[in-house]
Copies of this chain bind each other. A is one copy, B any other.
């Protein structure tokens, strides 16, 4: 009977896990299309095919579920980005790999991107701000690159990291909303070039800063 109980328990555990996952998945879909505060716990339960009360057997409250979804997503993303960076040899390669990884992640996880980078996700309740977190992580990377010499030393790493994070989030959120807005290549290329050489090219600057421009081209 111990054995039986053991099996039963584990069957239960598995079933429980399945319910939990259905809730997470339903929430992902719903939050993605309607945002945190326009989705009710009933909506999520209904979509998951469970009773309203079941929700609270798995999550403390709606916030909790949301936070879990978001944190999982950014951890995944962070991992992907870090791997891209660490596997690159040169700075330029790292920048490109990073952009590629970001765009790939967005393509594979449209819903998560819409949730995490949406402007109305009710982030106030998710205490640790998502972009702040990503930017903080990013700042560490920049500091490292600065030491290594691949980051312009006249920039403030904290500020630059916020800048880049805002840029990534916005571009990806905008694109994922309607992927026909730009080709995947245009997204990657634009992100890469801005990092490698900025957006500017004027008669004066051309001669002085031609190399970044050239490298921007080369990297295509």
Contacts and interface: CB of A to CB of B under 8 A. Distances in A.
Given A160-B194, A162-B174, A90 B150 contact: no
A15 B101 CA distance: 56
Contact of A200 (B34, B186, B196): B196
A121 to B, nearest CB: 6
Given A166-B171, A170-B162, A194-B160, A123 B124 contact: no
* Residue with the greatest number of chain B CB neighbours at <10 A, chosen from A189, A195, A202, A205: A202
Copies in the assembly, this chain: 4
Main SS of the interface on chain A?
helix
A151 B202 CA distance: 7
Nearest to A193: B155
Interface residues of A, number: 75
Contacts of A204: 90, 92, 211, 215
Interface stretch (A2-10, A105-113, A127-135): A127-135
Nearest to A174: B162
A74 interface: no
A155 B148 CA distance: 28
Contacts of A191: 159, 163
B202 A150 contact: yes
A75 interface: no
15 contacts: A35-B124, A90-B204, A151-B201, A152-B200, A152-B213, A153-B201, A153-B213, A155-B193, A156-B186, A156-B189, A163-B170, A166-B166, A166-B168, A193-B198, A205-B212
Given A37-B122, A205-B211, 8 more contacts: A91-B202, A91-B205, A92-B204, A131-B170, A159-B190, A166-B171, A167-B167, A197-B198
